[in-house]
Amino acid sequence: MINRRHIRVKVMQSVYAMQQSHSDDLVKEEKFLKHSIQKMYDLYVLNLQLLVEVQKLARKRIELSKKKILATKEELNPNTKFIDNKLLNSLNESVSLEGYVELNKLNYWDLDDEYVKILLDELQKSDIYKKYMDTVEDSYNVDRAFVIDFFREIVAPNEKLADYFEDKMISWVDDIPFVNTWILKSLNKQKASKPFILGSLYKDNDDKTFVSDLFTKTVLHQHKYEEDIKEKTPNWEADRIADIDMIIIKMAITEFLHFPSIPSRVTINEYIELAKDYSTNKSGYFINGVLDKLAKDYLSSNKMVKIGRGLL
């Protein structure tokens, strides 16, 4: 499921895009933000489906080899450990996975099956595949560990696949690392006794509401924050502050003033990390200093009211 840090990333990107396009259609931009987050779920499903398609192709190749006129002994009696993999079979039999694919018409691997072939070829040349196929132990734990290694070492780092996803949707570039981690967690927690069920996109309704509230409140109130920011950056003209840094500061102020259940220190730490990932090398220190001063002023003037630990 999507976490609050990635929600903040998505909101930051949407605020930036809205500013760059000089759009004032808040409803349209919020709708696109939610669409972008939903498409991230599609990326999650597509990667899981890809694992299934690789196994299906391996099974198909084995069946074709058996039908050769001059089939070898090995082709007639192949090692079926991969196509019998219990976790992959669980994914293949998942009603929720199949249902989501059909409902949302995610027929990517039917149309672009060359990526399935690329991954199967790379897998079968790998040491992890050879080691797995030679493993005598037949257990769910062994099968699950192999699938995790397959995804982590073969699928996730594949540059051709990453380029393909980027071509399909530009926002997926930033989503790929998060989705990869999400998939590994999903695979790791899967149990032999349970069918595979797709997880929820959001942890709860609070997180779902957080998307809209953070975006709309930042956009609607950002101009009110500019004087406060100016006071805390006396040696900086507004146009000297990087656009992303300014957006990050304004989003943090929004959390200070409009989200009483989020501790101010959590907000500061989260936006420092965003600055490290999406702005300049020195942005983290700059934003930390500005937000720390603002938080103290808002607290002392009672503009910022936090519940419980937020006051610490």
pLDDT by position in tens, the chain (length 312)? 899 999 999 999 999 999 999 999 999 999 999 999 999 999 999 999 999 999 999 999 998 887 777 767 776 778 899 999 999 999 999 999 999 999 999 999 999 999 999 999 999 999 999 999 999 999 999 999 999 999 999 999 999 999 999 999 988 998 999 999 999 999 999 999 899 999 889 999 999 999 999 999 999 999 999 999 989 887 765 566 789 999 999 999 999 999 999 999 999 999 999 998 888 878 888 899 999 999 999 999 999 988 865 454
What does the pLDDT read at residue 142?
A: 97
The CA–CA distances, whole Å, from 9 to 2, 78, 174, 204 equal 11, 48, 9, 18
DSSP class of residue 159 equals H
CB 29 within 8 A of CB 18: yes
What does the pLDDT read at residue 79?
A: 86
CA atoms within 13 A on the CB side of 197: 5
Which of 216, 174, 205 minimizes the C-alpha distance to 25?
Answer: 216
Give me the torsion for CA of 151, 153, 157, 160, rounded to 10°: -80
CB burial readout 11-23, b (16+ within 10 A) else e: bbbbbbebeeeee
DSSP element (H, E) containing 56: helix 26-66
- By CB atoms closer than 10 A (0-12, 13-18, 19+), residue 131 is exposed
Residue 2 to residue 311: CA distance in whole angstroms: 27
What does the pLDDT read at residue 308?
A: 65
Cβ neighbours of 152 (radius 10 Å): 15
CB 161 within 8 A of CB 155: yes
CB 156 within 8 A of CB 180: yes
What amino acid is encoded at 89 in this protein? N
What does the pLDDT read at residue 77?
A: 75
Which of 200, 196, 183 minimizes the C-alpha distance to 95?
Answer: 196
What does the pLDDT read at residue 253?
A: 97
What amino acid is encoded at 305 in this protein? V
Residue 126 to residue 24: CA distance in whole angstroms: 52
Beta bridge partners of 202: 2
Backbone angles phi, psi at 200, to 5 degrees: -75, 155
The CA–CA distances, whole Å, from 168 to 117, 162, 307 equal 19, 10, 43
- By CB atoms closer than 10 A (0-12, 13-18, 19+), residue 290 is buried
What does the pLDDT read at residue 310?
A: 44
